[in-house]
Amino acid sequence: MEIALVGIGKIAVDQHIPAISDNPDWELAATVSRHGTVKGVPAFTDFDTMLEERPEIRVVSLCLPPVPRFDYAQKAILAGRHVMLEKPPGATLSECHTLEALARKHRVSLYATWHSRQADKVAAAKDWLSDRRLRKLAIRWREDVRQWHPGQDWVFEAGGLGVFDPGINALSILTEILPVPVHLTGAELHFPENRDTPIAAQCAFHHPDGAEVTMDLDWLEPGTPTWTIEAETDTGHMLLENGGGTLTIDGQTHDARPGLSGEYPRLYAQMAELVASGGIDMDLAPLCHVADAFLLGRRIAAPRFDW
C-alpha cells in the first residue's frame, strides 16, 4: 500500500521512515513537510496539494505536533484516506471523538497509535499482572527535555502537553498492563514561570482494589533517562524498565532490549491490518488521564526554563 508521511521531523526520521521501509506491506509514496524530505520520495510542502495530486495514495500517517493535527486528519478523512496518528492522537479528547465519528461516517480506518505499548516486554508484564492482586505500583518517567526535544518550543506551548508528552507513554503502558482500570485522583503540576505547560508532575490514582498507584514525571533529569514501572503484588515483584524494553520479575531479568526495539514496525503492521479489515482503533485512555491531571492538578510555580 502507498502511504504519505506528513511531518518529517526527528521521530519520523528515526522511527517512521525505517519502519515503513522495512515493511513489505508499505511503500512510502510521498512526504509533506515545510523543511524535511526523504531522498527519492516525492516531496510536497502543502497537504492539500498532495491530496489533490496523489489520489492513489490511500493512507496518511501524521507525525505533526498535536495542535495542528486535527485539521490534517479531518482533511484526509474527508478525502477518503485512512489515517494513522502519532501519539497523542490529538490536542483534546473532543477532537479525537470528532475524528472517530468522521472516520466511521466515511468508512475509513483510523488508528491512535501508542508506541510504548509495543515495547518488547509490555505484553509479558500484562500477562504477569493479569492474575495477581496489586498492592503498589509506581511510575518514574524522568528525562532531559533538552536531549529529547532540543529547541522545540511547541512542547511548552498550550496544547503541547509539556512533561506529559513523555508521560503519556507511561500512561499508555499503564492502561495496557493493568487488568482493571484506574482513574486519577490528584496531581501537582510544576509550571515554569515563562511556559504554558508543566515541566514536572506528580500524580495519584484510584485503584478499585485499594492499591497505591502513583506517577512521578520530570523533564529536567540529567544523564540517562529513567523510564520505569514498578509493581508489588501479593505474590511477587515486577520491574519494567527502559520504557518497556526490560522486564525483571523477583530479581530475574528477561531479555533486556532497547525500549524502542520493534515498536514502530509493530505499529505499521497493525495499521496494515486495520486498513485490510476496515477497522478503527481509537483507545483514548492515556489521554483521559492527562486531561484529568490538567483538570484536577494543583499548579505549582517553578523556575523559568530556557534552552
How many other β-carbons are positioned within 10 Å of the β-carbon of residue 144? 16
Measured CA to CA, the distance from residue 231 to residue 205 in angstroms comes to: 14
Q: Which three cell numbers stand for residue 160?
A: 503541547
Distance of CA 108 to the CA centre of its chain: 22
Query: Which residues lie across from 86 on neighbouring strands?
Result: none
Q: What is the DSSP string of 72-124?
A: HHHHHHHTT-EEEEPSSS-SSHHHHHHHHHHHHHHT--EEE--GGGGSTTHHH
Examine residue 286 and say whether the peptide bond preceding it is cis (omega within 30 degrees of 0): no
87 is catalytic: yes
Candidate list 87, 121, 126, 136, residue with the active-site label: 87
Residue identified by cell 510555580 is 301
Enzyme catalytic residues: 87
